[in-house]
Chain A
Amino acid sequence: MADEMRILLRNYGKIDPLKIDDYLAQGGYKALEKAKAMSPADLIEEVKKANLRGRGGAGFNCGLKWSFAYQAQADQKYVVCNADEGEPGTYKDRLIMENDPQAVLEGMAICGYAIGASKGYIYCRGEYPQVVEILNEAIEQANAKGILPGFDVEVRMGAGAYVCGEETALIESLEGNRGEPRFKPPYPPNEGLWGKPTIVNNVETFANIPVIVERGADWFASVGAAAYPGTKIVTLTGDVNNTTFFEVPTDTTLREVIYHFGGGIPAGKKFKAVQVGGTSGAFIPEANLDTPIAFDSMSQIGAVLGSGAVFVLDESRDLVDVATQISKFFEHESCGKCAPCREGTMRLKDMMTKINQGQGTAKDTALIEKLGRVMSYSSLCGLGQAAPSPILSTLKHFSADYDAKMM
């Protein structure tokens, strides 16, 4: 049976996160030194070869993304750390930042060297004021030691908008605007913050960088699933005995996550469904539990890995009620910029509420399926594209719950 493997959480509980000397004693900032001894092109090649894929949900090859910003010509470039972590059921980025803030700074500084950026921003969600303090303290300590020469990092705080986790909305918010996503292209590595080449990476992505530089691309590429190597921090919620977090190689299966690490379902109840990737993920039935928690294997079963949140529901749960609650989330968080998402999330919520109250008919579910399909390809950003997924997947795999509530 699989064991935990702590790469990202290597210093968890071992160091005082507010003491940079502790981090240095564990070999911290050796990777930055090593990176700076390489040419930026070689460094980017190494990260690319490690096949580290973004941990913010889209799974894009990190080194490849960096190469676009490296090639872009500009007087100023930016490194942005996405610490907006708004996906319900997720707190992995908080764990990393609270327990090892210097690792995130080191990853950002390595990126800065690679692409030629002298300025970095950490966009931390407004719900984490204590993390903002930790990060500011960590930056101060690093600067006091002169560890980040030529690289200046600032923390900015969000103010409660899920959509600001989307990279172009995040950039708008950093610029002091309403957090509405931009049309793409241009993509941020070419035109991002204040129109300059910008790398936006997730906290967990950055925290992987020092390890990759230190131990080499080949080593990293050999951990976990070949197509999505490394480890993943999963945060378990819902009906499991251990509602906690684990860091596991990416070839670990959902079944292992729920039964081995999660300790199974409490009170002798049976498993019913699991939603992976946060509230925008699909609900997965028992038949697919042997799927590894890697990006592509999750896509193959019509689900997503997303943020790595794992939300388990036992046999007593009513999926119509849960999906209705989720539809409220999307209606509330839709920024309103594009019509398919603005109107669609509202209609989905209305119809789900009606069904949940026992007043729905087969006409409603048919309409939901059609609307959901249209939203998934016509919405401007991932919010509206993914919003129908929890509903459509419950309709597909758990139609009995809907039938039981029909008029």
Chain B
Amino acid sequence: MKLVDIIMQYKDQPGGLIEALHAIQKEYSYLPEDAILETARVFNKPASEVYGVARFYSMFSTTPRGKNVIRICESAPCHIAGAVEVIAALERELGIKIGESTQDGVFALEFTECVGQCQATPVITVNGKPYFDVNPTTITDILAEYK
């Protein structure tokens, strides 16, 4: 779908701006600058306002990032269950630091706070799908699903 068509779907929805940003991000994995400008035009809002909304929410990214977004929960229950080791293992395995994406554009690595799956800590999500009781040895298999 063309960018403008994606945005147009939400134009008449009251408060539909955030839904529009979700839809754009689903397509591009982040919110490109021209998408923000186009959204501002369609919604008849200043670009600064749309940018302000995009920057407010942690799930929106205004910089390009890898296609598959890995998020590691660093809230207290996951923290004490060994999230730190999982972070180290993921950074090692992917050769990047938290906040970065792999050269080939396949993965992005980010922190998140609790994703509400605390029955099986530590938890990571890939594109929103949760993985439970993660440890340094299980991440290899998880990553393989997306390669």
- A317 near B76 (CB under 8 angstroms)? no
Total contacting residues, chain B, CB less than 8 A: 33
CB interface residues, B 113-137, toward A, < 8 Å: 113-121, 125, 128
List, in ascending order, chain A residues with CB within 8 A of B59's CB: 126-127, 159-160
- A156 near B119 (CB under 8 angstroms)? no
Q: How many A residues touch the partner, as a band? A: 35 or more
Q: Mark B15-53, 1 if CB is under 8 A from A, else 0.
A: 111110110000000000000000000000000000011
- A237 near B118 (CB under 8 angstroms)? yes
- B56 near A335 (CB under 8 angstroms)? yes
List, in ascending order, chain B residues with CB within 8 A of A235's CB: 118-119
Q: Which residue of B lies closest to A311 (CB)?
A: B77
Q: Contacts A125-B116, A322-B79, A325-B79: A159 and B60 contacting too (C-beta < 8 A)? A: yes
What CA separation (Å) do A329 and B120 show in the bound complex?
A: 20
Q: How far is the CB of B22 from chain A (nearest CB, A)?
A: 6
Interface-centre pick from B15, B52, B115 (highest chain A CB count, 10 A): B15
Q: Contacts A129-B128, A326-B76: A177 and B53 contacting too (C-beta < 8 A)? A: yes
- A194 near B116 (CB under 8 angstroms)? no
Q: Which one, A138-146, A183-191, A238-246, is touching chain B?
A: A238-246
List, in ascending order, chain B residues with CB within 8 A of A194's CB: 14
Q: Which residue of B lies closest to A162 (CB)?
A: B113
CB interface residues, A 292-333, toward B, < 8 Å: 309, 311, 313, 317, 322, 325-326, 328-329, 332-333
Answer whether residue A90 sits at the interface, using C-beta atoms and an 8 A cutoff: yes
Q: Contacts A127-B116, A156-B18, A162-B113: A279 and B76 contacting too (C-beta < 8 A)? A: yes
Q: Contacts A175-B15, A176-B18: A87 and B114 contacting too (C-beta < 8 A)? A: yes
What CA separation (Å) do A239 and B76 show in the bound complex?
A: 12
What CA separation (Å) do A329 and B29 show in the bound complex?
A: 25
Answer whether residue A157 sits at the interface, using C-beta atoms and an 8 A cutoff: yes
Determine which of B18, B60, B118 lies in contact with A173 in the assembled complex, contact meaning CB atoms within 8 Å: B18
Answer whether residue A158 sits at the interface, using C-beta atoms and an 8 A cutoff: yes
- A325 near B76 (CB under 8 angstroms)? yes
- A159 near B113 (CB under 8 angstroms)? no
List, in ascending order, chain A residues with CB within 8 A of B58's CB: 159-161, 332
Q: Can you list the 6 inter-chain pairs with the closest CB atoms, starting with the nearest? A: A159-B57, A88-B75, A176-B17, A160-B59, A88-B114, A160-B58
6 sample A-B contacts, Cβ–Cβ < 8 Å, listed by A number: A89-B118, A157-B22, A159-B60, A160-B57, A329-B76, A335-B56
